[in-house]
């Protein structure tokens, strides 16, 4: 059984009752359309210590003609994963892919009457939009209308057929651990659709049960949405009820209901965890990001409208990594990162998401690009802050491999500590130093992890901003530290036993579930404990 369950204070993915972390990579959009092409990609993933790949499967290839289904490609992909003892999360590229409809079948794309397009200008199915402020030219844009029940139903039939195929092929082996429904849903270029039907729906009364739900869930809402909901009259049209937030709330309501139609049809056939990924808002106005998609400000709306979705996933290409992770976890949503950039924070972010967020999935996009130059286009399109050199620099491939293999080797132990205070992490990007209190002359303190009776202070000297480490406590005064680019200081946190002496410091590796010690480092090394290159230390001490 594959489930999302509560463990301690976190929600975790479990396979037959055991927590599992998807140490994953997402392939480029087209790679998984060809199992032959995928051979090389699988091998790269194995060499990086990954246990899962995120693979698109498109509506157009699975239902090339209405009612004729072909699952031969996903079937081969599942066989390839099994040969390597790996897992898959399939990404259902149905009505939406990056807020467009490029993967809908030809018979859907060509039938504009039955499957209408979203109108950003009344009467027009395709419009030029300007979403990149720096670009002097616009982008031709079209996508399927989120108001079309007919489109949602056709997508749902195909998705249910796909889930039935998964159930029949994989319910026993459980190679496929989750499915992402659609890809980066929402409407670009505007706050809402403006067809005649859309105008009518916008002027019609807001459903009472929906409004009542929002009014009962304002505690975690984004400020402006909360203000709109708190001030909302008990009935009225969308603009009457939600004021300036009306367009986004309206779009989120309809996009999430469309997704629910698809997701629930699939879940009824095969009950796997279902996810949706998100093109982030980056603080912009609706339409500069796909309006209605699961940006964190509309999660309460998605909660109400799309109960079949288990997890909302941020695609993180922005510099504010921690801020996004915090936003996506503060309502109890588990951290599942299906896409992130391959610049030099890639490896340290993996350690941090496992150790700090007890994440469900960490998956760089186009992971086989790791080690290749991180291009200026990536910087531009993904909103990378070019003032931070670490965001401009590529991730070193051998370092990523080492960190990946290291995390994979520790997974059973790490997963066991998920949801508890025994597993913590710090990274240079997120926690370099804690500022001195009151701006006085006392020096800034290094960031630390607090384990009750002891604490571990971490500094990141010379790590070019990409140092990180996690600490796994396995006894009162015993732990493993896995990290890179960090200096480590242990201190007693017990007033009555203020001194701490090491009993054991050794480097080593995990394999086959056991610890294999290398050098014992009880000498000079304990004076300045550090991990320059990726590595694991086993540490035991006592307090007196």
Binding site for ligand DGJ (CB under 6 A): 29, 98, 183-184, 315, 339, 365
CB-wise, 260 or 339, nearer to ligand DGJ? Answer: 339
CB-wise, 381 or 542, nearer to ligand DGJ? Answer: 381
In the bound state, the residue with its beta carbon closest to ligand DGJ is 184
Residues 153, 168: Cα–Cα separation, whole Å: 22
CB-wise, 29 or 459, nearer to ligand DGJ? Answer: 29
Give the helix, strand, coil percentages of the chain, each rounded to 5: 35, 30, 35
Least separation in angstroms between CB 403 and ligand DGJ: 22
What is the 8-class DSSP label of residue 66?
A: T
In sequence order, the 6+-apart residues with CB closer than 8 A to the CB of 450 are 424, 493
SS (H, E, C) 183-214: ECCCECCCCCCCCHHHHHHHHCECCHHHHHHH
Token pair listed for 444: 């800034």
- Phi first, then psi, for residue 58 (nearest 5°) are -100, 150
Residues 368, 374: Cα–Cα separation, whole Å: 12
Least separation in angstroms between CB 207 and ligand DGJ: 30
Please give the full DSSP string across 206-259, using - where no structure is assigned.
PPHHHHHHHHHT-TT--HHHHHHHHH--SS-BHHHHHGGGHHHHHHHHHHHHHH
How many other CB atoms are found less than 10 A from the CB of residue 493? 17
Least separation in angstroms between CB 281 and ligand DGJ: 14
Least separation in angstroms between CB 368 and ligand DGJ: 13
CB-wise, 45 or 486, nearer to ligand DGJ? Answer: 45
In sequence order, the 6+-apart residues with CB closer than 8 A to the CB of 112 are 125
Least separation in angstroms between CB 339 and ligand DGJ: 6
Least separation in angstroms between CB 338 and ligand DGJ: 8
- Phi first, then psi, for residue 172 (nearest 5°) are -80, -50
CB-wise, 226 or 392, nearer to ligand DGJ? Answer: 392
- Phi first, then psi, for residue 22 (nearest 5°) are -85, 100
Residues 416, 28: Cα–Cα separation, whole Å: 32
CB-wise, 193 or 315, nearer to ligand DGJ? Answer: 315
Token pair listed for 156: 């749902």
CB-wise, 155 or 339, nearer to ligand DGJ? Answer: 339
Least separation in angstroms between CB 334 and ligand DGJ: 19
Closest C-alpha to 182, from 293, 291, 41, 77: 293
CB-wise, 98 or 151, nearer to ligand DGJ? Answer: 98
CB-wise, 293 or 485, nearer to ligand DGJ? Answer: 293
Residues 115, 60: Cα–Cα separation, whole Å: 14
Token pair listed for 157: 């039939």
332 in helix, strand or coil?
Answer: coil
Least separation in angstroms between CB 53 and ligand DGJ: 14
């Amino acid at each position: 059984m594959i489930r999302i369950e509560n463990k301690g204070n976190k929600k975790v993915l479990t396979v037959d009752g055991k927590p599992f972390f998807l140490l994953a990579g997402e392939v480029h959009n087209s790679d998984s359309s060809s199992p032959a092409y995928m051979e090389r990609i699988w091998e790269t993933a194995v060499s990086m210590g990954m246990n899962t790949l995120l693979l698109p499967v498109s509506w157009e290839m699975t239902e090339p003609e209405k009612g004729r289904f072909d699952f031969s490609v996903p079937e081969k992909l599942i066989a390839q994963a099994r040969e390597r003892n790996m897992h898959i999360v399939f990404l259902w590229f149905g009505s939406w892919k990056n807020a467009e409809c490029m993967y809908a079948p030809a018979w859907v794309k060509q039938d504009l009457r039955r499957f209408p397009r979203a109108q950003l200008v009344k009467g027009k199915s395709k419009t030029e939009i300007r979403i990149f402020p720096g670009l002097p030219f616009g982008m031709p844009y079209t996508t399927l209308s989120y108001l079309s029940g007919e489109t949602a139903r056709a997508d749902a039939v195909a998705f249910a057929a796909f889930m039935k195929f998964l159930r029949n092929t994989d319910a026993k082996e459980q190679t496929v651990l989750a499915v992402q429904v659609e890809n980066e849903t929402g409407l670009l270029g505007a706050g809402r659709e403006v067809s005649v039907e859309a105008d009518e729906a916008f002027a019609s009364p807001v459903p009472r049960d929906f409004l009542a739900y929002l009014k009962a869930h304002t505690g975690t809402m984004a400020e402006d949405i909360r203000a709109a909901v708190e001030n909302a009259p008990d009935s009225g049209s969308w603009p009457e009820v939600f004021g300036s937030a009306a367009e986004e709330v309206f779009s989120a309501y309809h996009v999430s209901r469309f997704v629910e139609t698809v997701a629930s049809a699939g879940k009824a056939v095969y009950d796997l965890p279902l996810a949706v990924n998100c093109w982030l808002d980056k603080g912009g106005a609706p339409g500069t990001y796909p309006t209605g998609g699961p940006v964190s400000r509309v999660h309460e709306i998605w909660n109400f409208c799309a109960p079949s979705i288990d997890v909302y996933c941020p695609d993180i290409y922005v510099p504010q990594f921690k801020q996004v992770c915090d936003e996506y976890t503060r309502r109890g949503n588990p951290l599942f990162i299906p896409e992130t950039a391959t610049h030099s924070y890639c490896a340290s972010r993996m350690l941090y998401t496992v150790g700090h967020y007890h994440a469900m999935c960490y998956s760089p996009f186009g992971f086989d690009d790791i080690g290749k130059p991180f291009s200026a286009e990536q910087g531009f399109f993904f909103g990378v802050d070019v003032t931070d050199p670490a965001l401009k620099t590529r991730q070193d491939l051998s370092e990523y491999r080492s960190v990946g293999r290291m995390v994979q080797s520790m997974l059973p132990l790490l997963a066991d500590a998920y949801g508890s205070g025994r597993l913590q992490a710090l990274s240079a990007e997120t926690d370099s130093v804690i500022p001195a209190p009151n701006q006085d002359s006392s020096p800034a303190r290094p960031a630390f992890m607090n384990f009750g009776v002891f604490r571990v202070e971490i500094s990141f000297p010379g790590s070019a901003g990409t140092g990180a480490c996690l600490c796994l406590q396995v006894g009162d005064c015993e732990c493993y530290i896995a990290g890179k680019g960090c200096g480590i200081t242990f201190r007693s946190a017990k007033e009555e036993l203020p001194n701490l002496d090491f009993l054991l410091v050794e480097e080593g590796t995990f394999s086959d579930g056991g610890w294999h010690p290398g050098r014992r480092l009880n000498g000079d090394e304990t004076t300045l404990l550090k991990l320059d290159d990726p590595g694991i230390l086993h540490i035991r001490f006592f307090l007196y």
